[in-house]
Chains A and B, each alone.
Chain A
Amino acid sequence: MSNPTIIAPKTYRGYEAVIGLEIHAQLKTQSKMFCADSTTFDAGDNENTSPVSVAMPGTLPAVNAHAIEFAIKAGLALGCEIRKKSVFARKNYFYPDLPKGYQISQYDQPICEHGKISFKVEDYDKTVRIERAHMEEDAGKSNHHGEYTLLNYNRAGVPLLEIVSGPDMRTPQEAAEYARTIRQVLIYLDVCDGNLEEGSLRCDCNISVRKIGAEKFGTRTETKNVNSFRFVEKAIEFEIERQIDAIEAGERIIQETRLWDPDKNRTISMRSKEDAQDYRYFPEPDLLPVIVTAEMIEKYRKDLPELPIARAQRFMSANGLPEYDALVLTTEKDLADFYEITAKISGNFKAASNWVMTEVLRELKQAEKEIKDSPIRPEQLGKLIALIDNNTISGKIAKTVFQEMWQSGKDPEVIVKEKGLVQITDTGAIEKIIQEVIAANAQQVADYRGGRTKLFGFFVGAVMKASKGQANPDLVNQILTEKLKG
């Protein structure tokens, strides 16, 4: 993110991998792309259907304006040009889960084109081109049961944005990080929920290999059914090795579609180019071209939230956070929002980062909760940090208070007051405790004065214990040092 690092190309037995990704993101609209059916994930079988979505005779598509808005926002965030006029096209093929016998998609005039996105992979910066992002509708789902197949059309017509990268990635890690970044941006924009398990985000990987130094691309394969970022890495790793093995064995790579089998950790051939479909694309005559005005683009551009990379940079420059903190805190928009509120209320940017990154994330992980479900509100955490900084409580006590807040959701001041945890900063009171400790440990005092200075820690511990942890540690150190001198 700071200075671009020039790195030597990663090689695999003298080969280089060329990787491009097609990401299908489900746009988070209430209704489908071309009709009013709901898009809820957990509806009963075929509950979210209507004459339009099951393609009854004479029914026609009507474009969901929200889907267009979301596509434009995504395009802007991915640095794309938004076409003033984009055109829906029919992609024709027969399959039982495709009700119309064609999918309404975009072909030669997609809504977004020529973008790019930058992200960090391991220790270097990477930029990947976005060739295009186009709108299309999803198909239904075929549930195969051996002898028969059941069809669920709930997904049929759900709006998708297909984001096509350039063939710009060279390692499985770059590909996985690219996919993570796209997901992160879409979630930031609130146009996709990014849920991989529910299929809201799906990834097809185009992979080829070529000898280092070769200019021509090798024959590529397309791997589908890759539904986690870990699998993106694994599938690409497998495919690179498989292709190199084949070439080394004197075989030709066949242009084909392959499936990732997560159980066997391998890709398997699905269909080859020889029996590839001719989709007979043509402009969808039932829909007018989508016209996007300069005013629309301006409006949506203004609505764009600060994107993760910009936000991380701001956390570094304005809040003085280290790059690591800034990147972790901006992985999710909700987390970054949480941090920002905590930082603002506490007035201590770095302490806020530490608390969020260690205490909050640890507790969330243990409880298997999302940041938005945290029982402690960021305002409360901010106040807790402020209590430390104004010496009301010690850092150690604060940890106890944090636990109590996590359990009860109470405000930190309330807990501190209820439990009498206010830090003792009255030097008189601390001296009194120290006197008592010294009196009760005559032998240790004598040993200390005799040269066993290591015992200092013993005295601090005893004083803190006697004060129930409430004595200000700095004052304890200071007064104790003086008193022990004798």
Chain B
Amino acid sequence: MDLNTASFKDISQAVKSKKASALEVTQHFLKRAKSLDSKLNSFITFNDKAEDEAKALDARIAKGEDVGVMAGVPFGIKDMFCTRGLKTTAASKILENFVPPYDATVVERLRKAGITVLGKLNQDEFAMGSSNENSHFGPVKNPWNVQYVPGGSSGGSAAAQAARLAAGTVGTDTGGSIRQPASFCGIVGVKPTYGRVSRYGIVAFASSLDQAGPMVSCVEDAATTLEVICGRDERDQTTSDHDVPKFSQNLKEDLKGMRVGLVKEYMTEKGLHADVQKTLDSAIETLKKRGAEIVEVSISLTNQAVPMYYLIAASEASSNLARYDGVKYGYRTNIESLGSMALDDFYCRTRGEGFGKEVKRRIVLGTYCLSSGYYDAFYNKAGQVRRLLRDQYSEAFKKCDVILSPVTTSPAFKIGDRISDPLAMYLNDIFTVSTNLAGLPGMSVPFGMSKEGLPIGVQLTASHFEEQKMLNVGYSLEQASSVKWKVANV
């Protein structure tokens, strides 16, 4: 079995039938990760117990126990997910030594399905960023060219997956944090419908936008992961009790009768990179060939999406991050040297020293938007426009089954290129944030390469809880893709 090209089903079947042990599979990825990651910086923490977890699994298989559909698949977990007994930092100094006494629901469900945890993956601090340059633990490099960013905020997940340092990874997506790095690194990334996946145990960034999803090598692995992690969780009251289909068993290539929408307003986007345009055009041709009907739809609020997103996300973040105050856990300013200090000073120092620049920028922005006298003009207004945006998507999805679009305006950019211009960085999210604002499922499928040899994905968006349609179109594109399942050569 070539573990660089083995799907989750290949691995779990091999492990269950004892053709390979979970231990040797885990050791393969651990060894690869530990030797190659010095070039990428995609891991923050390795799991010392990974081999023990694999041994325990092998022992259960030896006893004939049912070990789950992802038995023996080694996973990297974005450091936003709490992992019991394993450091969870959100790539922030303020949580640099935090060890949770609980697993996030996603991690709990993946473990139950039989994964082993290789370690915790780098990201932008508190998932705030589009380049993975905002990490307390240093930037992550794009495995296709280490001069370039892997995207963000789930840059560590995307880089580790593209280099096959893990068989699978999970990320979180608040405004594109799964889809954009997936596109930049040439892997499959899925953000499910809001409410599909429990947020319990995921460090909160913007509660009404955050969702978790797979970042993996192929659509089938994404479908398998979704079967495991989706579904109602009593600990997250915003989760839905919608039935979770057997996504991976229902995958089909045939697109007859499938209506694929193109958003009129995206087509007039001026700054679209030629290689991105080329990739998109080729995807449209492929879909037509495979029987899909192409229709035009309109989302006229598109140009409002980025400002709307940053108002809502920053506002919620300013409140969600208030708990990091140095009182109960996490980083605390050095009081001993001073003897004592006033409470306000304690907060200012702890948070001033513990949070990075981008996080502080968003806390300030969000605090301002929620302030008395500004709330109606900002947060409240953004909420109203958000409902209108949702309505526009509902209209659009009467005319089509999925929407095809670029993921970003350009392929990955160079490290350092945009970090000094936050506005340019924010505008990079133009194609991804609407999906979160409307609560829709979205995914990135690798479909092209830039002249510089960097991957380019295309984005598919579907109506609420219509992941299956989206996955099917993605699966069909993937079968025709010239860049299907390419492992970056680090």
Contact = CB atoms under 8 A, between A and B. Distances in A.
A280 B375 contact: yes
Interface residues of B, number: 45
A57 B237 contact: no
B199 A60 contact: yes
A281 B375 CA distance: 9
A101 interface: yes
Interface of B is mostly: loop
Interface string A60-100: 11110000000000000000000000000010101010011
B135 interface: no
Contact of B203 (A58, A100, A286, A287): A58
Given A51-B101, A51-B102, A101-B325, A280 B237 contact: no
Query: Which of B80, B98, B201 is packed against the most chain A CB atoms within 10 Å?
Result: B201
A51 B370 contact: no
B200 A94 contact: no
Interface stretch (B33-41, B316-324, B413-421): B316-324
B202 to A, nearest CB: 5
A288 B237 contact: yes
B234 interface: yes
Contacts of A96: 325, 327, 343
A57 B316 contact: no
A60 B100 contact: no
A114 B331 CA distance: 46
B402 to A, nearest CB: 27
A282 B375 contact: yes
A135 B104 CA distance: 28
Interface string B77-109: 000111000001010000100101110100000
A36 to B, nearest CB: 10
B196 to A, nearest CB: 15
Contacts of B375: 280-282
B310 to A, nearest CB: 16
B252 interface: no
A280 B201 contact: no
Given A62-B234, A278-B371, A57 B204 contact: yes
Contact of B199 (A51, A58, A62): A58
Given A282-B370, A285-B207, A55 B323 contact: yes
Contacts of A282: 315-316, 319, 370, 375, 379
Given A51-B101, A100-B323, A101-B319, A57 B367 contact: no
B104 A58 contact: yes
Interface residues of A, number: 29
Contacts of A90: 319
B390 to A, nearest CB: 15
Nearest to A95: B343
Contacts of A341: none
Nearest to B200: A60
B46 interface: no
A291 interface: no
B347 interface: yes
A105 to B, nearest CB: 13
A282 to B, nearest CB: 6
B236 interface: yes
Contact of B204 (A58, A62, A287): A58
B316 A285 contact: yes
B329 A280 contact: no
B324 to A, nearest CB: 8
A280 B367 contact: yes
Contacts of B88: 57
Contacts of B207: 285-286
Contacts of A58: 80-82, 100, 104, 199-204
A350 B323 CA distance: 61
Contact of A57 (B235, B323, B340): B323
A147 to B, nearest CB: 6
A280 B371 contact: yes
B489 interface: no
Nearest to A94: B347
B208 interface: yes
Nearest to B326: A96
B256 to A, nearest CB: 39
A57 B102 CA distance: 10
A54 interface: yes
B323 A101 contact: yes
A304 interface: no
A432 B334 CA distance: 98
Query: Which of A92, A94, A102, A282 is packed against the most chain B CB atoms within 10 Å?
Result: A282
A479 interface: no
Contacts of A288: 237-238
B268 interface: no
B328 A60 contact: no
A356 to B, nearest CB: 48
B457 to A, nearest CB: 28
Nearest to B126: A57
A465 B225 CA distance: 95
A290 B104 CA distance: 25
Interface string A358-401: 00000000000000000000000000000000000000000000
A92 B319 contact: yes
Contacts of A281: 370, 375
A59 interface: yes
A56 interface: yes
A247 interface: no
Contacts of A328: none
Contacts of B201: 58-59
A100 B208 CA distance: 17
A92 B325 CA distance: 13
Nearest to B80: A58
Contacts of A61: 237
A365 to B, nearest CB: 46
Contacts of A56: 82, 100-102, 328-329
Nearest to B328: A54
Contacts of A54: 328-329
14 contacts: A51-B101, A55-B323, A57-B88, A57-B90, A57-B98, A57-B323, A58-B200, A58-B202, A92-B322, A96-B327, A102-B319, A285-B238, A286-B207, A287-B237
Given A94-B347, A101-B325, 10 more contacts: A51-B101, A57-B90, A57-B204, A58-B200, A61-B237, A96-B343, A101-B323, A285-B206, A286-B204, A287-B238
Interface of B: 80-82, 88, 90, 95, 98, 100-102, 104, 199-204, 206-208, 234-238, 315-316, 318-319, 321-323, 325, 327-329, 340, 343, 347, 367, 370-372, 375, 379
Nearest 10 A-B pairs (CB), nearest first?
A: A101-B322, A280-B370, A285-B207, A285-B208, A58-B201, A55-B323, A57-B203, A96-B327, A278-B372, A58-B82
